[in-house]
Every structure is written in structure tokens, then in C-alpha cells.
């Protein structure tokens, strides 16, 4: 294997997601195995600009695979949007001889990596670290499985109290632009209705569905809403339903950032480890400026600019299945 890089930087950027630490660990230890020097860049691109860069060894990533969050921290950087900010960031990499970069994050983080690769010729490999599972070119994103399992555990508990009081609960989960958490957790918990940005189920349809169930004396119902749904999230849905279905005892629960935290599941640890390992292998093999993903259980490499531009598309049969199973 011919080395194309000698020193690599690793950073996490954007929203945190469970499994990021496993990806950091895999990238660092794989790089060290091949005799590379590894530098951790704290607080994403902001830390790159502020020169918060430290050399890492094997002990730097000991005992972190089970931890949520990211030991490298994360932040958003307005300065990095400007060319001068990127020049300052790149100068800090050059100062240490860093000639390859592993970026763990979402769409915005990938855009930053693409800018660095295009403007300075820096070899970059991106890993999909986001709970939203909204990136093109991969079946899994680091953190999604943990977030969904957290949501499922919470919704199961909510169903218990809904059943005890014959209530309608509207549960809001994360997902401003993508409804995968709502879709998966809603199906897994038997939700009667699921509202996601990709499929604009109308409030009228929800009212009709709940009215029909009310006639059948089915008073326990769950509606799972992605925060980015056009209705305005759970509170917006609740206002409309209370006005149209006053006989239903309606409650709202917003799960919020609890979905980002916690120890990653086995699946998230495994995919993060695979992706971190293959990120370094890609840099060494000269496969640059790609996102490392997993499709059909095989590693898949998507050019970063395509991963940024294209959208993950929801299969047509998902919402049909939701309606059938909730009938």
C-alpha cells in the first residue's frame, strides 16, 4: 500500500451524534498502525481556525468507544464560511504538515471539507455523523440507530401512560428536514399517525383517521411528529386537533436533545469503527474527497460534492405500510 499522506487531522463538526467517538478511535488507531502521525482538531472548523490542534496517540482514544458525544468537541464556525477564515484554518494545518483530513459530521461539515479540497488541494474523507440519516450514499449514518432506540424507549413509556388515561399523545422527535427518526420510531412503537417533512400528510387526514378511531371507541392514540413538519411540530398539531376533536384528552411530549445523547448502540459502534478504519485506508490508497458509507453491508464511496447535492429519498411503500399497520 503506497502512502499518499503522512500526517492526518481528525475533526467532528456540526451536531453531535452517538458513535462519533468510535469513529475517532478507529481513525486514530488505523493511522497509527500505518505509521502516520495523527492530530485531533478540537471544536470542528472553529478549532482549526483557532489552532486548537493536538497530536494524538493510542492512549488518546482509550476507553471512549462506549461514550456518547465527541471527545474532540464540536462547534459551528461562521468565520469558516469566509475565504479568509479558511486560509487561516489551512495555514494551521500546513504548520504541522497535516496533509490529509478525516471529517465526521453532516452536510455542513462535508461542505467545509469540499471547500478545503477544492481551494487548497487537501485530501479529505468524510464520515456521515448525524442522527437524522439524511445523507445520500449510505444506508446508515453514525448515531441514527442510537437516536431511534432512545426515541422508541421514550415512546413506549408514553404509551403506558396514554393507555392508563385513555389519552392521545403527540410526540415530537428530531428531524428538521428529514423524517427518518419519526418514521422508524413511529412504526416500531405502533403509532397511529406519523408526520414527516418528506410526505406531507395533511392535518385533515389525521383528523379523519382519529375521528374514525374515536367512533370505534379507540381512545389511546399516538401521533409521532418530526420537528420539521409543516404543521409546526407537536404543539402546532395539538392546537389543531384540540380544536377539531375536543373529546380527545390530548397531551404533547417533545423529546428534544435527549435523542442526541447516551452510549451508542452496538450497531453505531460497529459502523463508526468500519467507517473510521476505511477513511484512513482511503487516504492511503489515494481515494480522496469521498464520503465513506455503507450500502447493502458493503463499503461505498460517494464523491463529497454528490453527497452534499443529492438527497436521501424515502421509499414509496413506507407511508403506505404505516397506514395499513395502524388501521
Cβ within 8 Å of residue 142, ≥6 positions away: 17, 18, 19, 20, 22, 23, 104, 127, 128, 129, 130, 268, 271, 272, 275
Residues comprising the binding site for Mg(2+)? 107
- DSSP 3-state assignment of 38? strand
Residues comprising the binding site for substrate? 130-132, 167, 174-176, 227, 251, 257-260
Residues comprising the binding site? 15, 25-29, 76-77, 106-109, 130-132, 159, 167, 174-176, 190-192, 216, 218-220, 227, 251, 257-260
Largest CA distance in the chain: 71
DSSP designation for 260 = T
Angle formed by the axes of helices 266-285 and 20-33, nearest 10°: 40
| Residue 132 known to be catalytic | yes
Q: Please, which residues bridge with residue 169 across strands?
A: 222, 251
Cβ within 8 Å of residue 153, ≥6 positions away: none
- Selecting among 132, 134, 145, 268, the annotated active-site residue is 132
Residues comprising the binding site for ATP? 15, 76-77, 106-109
Region of residue 43 (phi > 0: left; psi between -120 and 50: alpha; otherwise: beta): left
Which cell numbers hold the place of 313? 429519498
Provide the Cα torsion 143, 101, 312, 154; round to 10°. Answer: 10
Question: 227, 175 in Cβ contact below 8 A?
Answer: yes
Task: For the chain, list the strands marked E by DSSP.
Answer: 7-12, 37-41, 53-56, 100-105, 124-128, 167-173, 193-195, 221-226, 249-254, 290-295, 298-303
Angle formed by the axes of helices 180-188 and 317-325, nearest 10°: 30
List residues with catalytic annotation.
132
Amino acid at each position: 500500500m503506497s502512502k499518499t499522506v503522512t500526517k492526518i487531522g481528525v475533526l467532528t463538526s456540526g451536531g453531535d451524534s452517538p458513535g462519533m467517538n468510535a469513529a475517532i478511535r478507529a481513525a486514530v488507531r488505523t493511522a497509527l498502525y500505518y505509521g502516520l502521525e495523527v492530530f485531533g482538531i478540537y471544536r470542528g472548523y472553529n478549532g482549526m481556525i483557532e489552532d486548537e490542534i493536538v497530536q494524538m496517540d493510542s492512549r488518546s482514544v482509550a476507553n471512549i468507544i462506549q461514550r456518547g458525544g465527541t471527545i474532540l468537541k464540536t462547534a459551528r464556525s461562521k468565520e469558516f464560511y469566509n475565504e479568509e477564515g479558511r486560509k487561516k484554518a489551512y495555514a494551521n494545518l500546513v504548520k504541522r504538515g497535516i496533509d490529509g483530513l478525516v471529517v465526521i459530521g453532516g452536510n455542513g461539515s462535508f461542505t467545509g471539507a469540499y471547500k478545503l479540497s477544492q481551494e487548497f488541494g487537501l485530501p479529505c474523507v468524510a464520515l456521515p455523523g448525524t442522527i437524522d440519516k439524511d445523507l445520500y450514499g449510505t444506508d446508515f449514518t453514525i448515531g441514527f440507530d442510537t437516536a431511534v432506540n432512545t426515541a422508541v424507549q421514550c415512546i413506549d413509556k408514553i404509551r403506558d401512560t396514554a393507555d392508563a388515561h385513555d389519552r392521545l399523545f403527540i410526540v415530537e422527535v428530531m428531524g428538521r428536514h428529514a423524517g427518518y427518526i419519526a418514521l422508524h420510531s413511529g412504526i416500531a412503537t405502533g403509532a397511529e399517525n406519523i408526520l414527516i417533512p418528506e410526505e406531507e400528510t395533511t392535518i385533515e387526514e389525521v383528523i379523519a383517521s382519529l375521528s374514525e378511531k374515536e367512533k370505534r371507541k379507540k381512545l389511546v392514540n399516538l401521533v409521532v411528529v418530526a420537528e420539521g413538519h409543516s404543521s409546526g411540530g407537536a404543539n402546532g398539531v395539538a392546537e389543531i386537533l384540540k380544536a377539531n376533536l375536543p373529546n380527545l384528552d390530548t397531551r404533547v411530549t417533545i423529546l428534544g436533545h435527549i435523542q442526541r445523547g447516551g452510549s451508542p448502540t452496538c450497531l453505531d459502534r460497529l459502523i463508526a469503527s468500519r467507517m473510521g478504519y476505511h477513511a484512513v485506508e482511503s487516504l492511503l490508497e489515494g481515494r480522496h474527497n469521498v464520503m465513506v458509507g455503507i450500502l447493502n453491508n458493503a463499503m461505498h464511496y460517494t464523491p463529497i460534492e454528490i453527497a452534499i447535492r443529492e438527497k436521501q429519498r424515502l421509499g414509496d411503500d413506507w407511508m403506505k405500510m404505516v397506514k395499513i399497520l395502524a388501521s
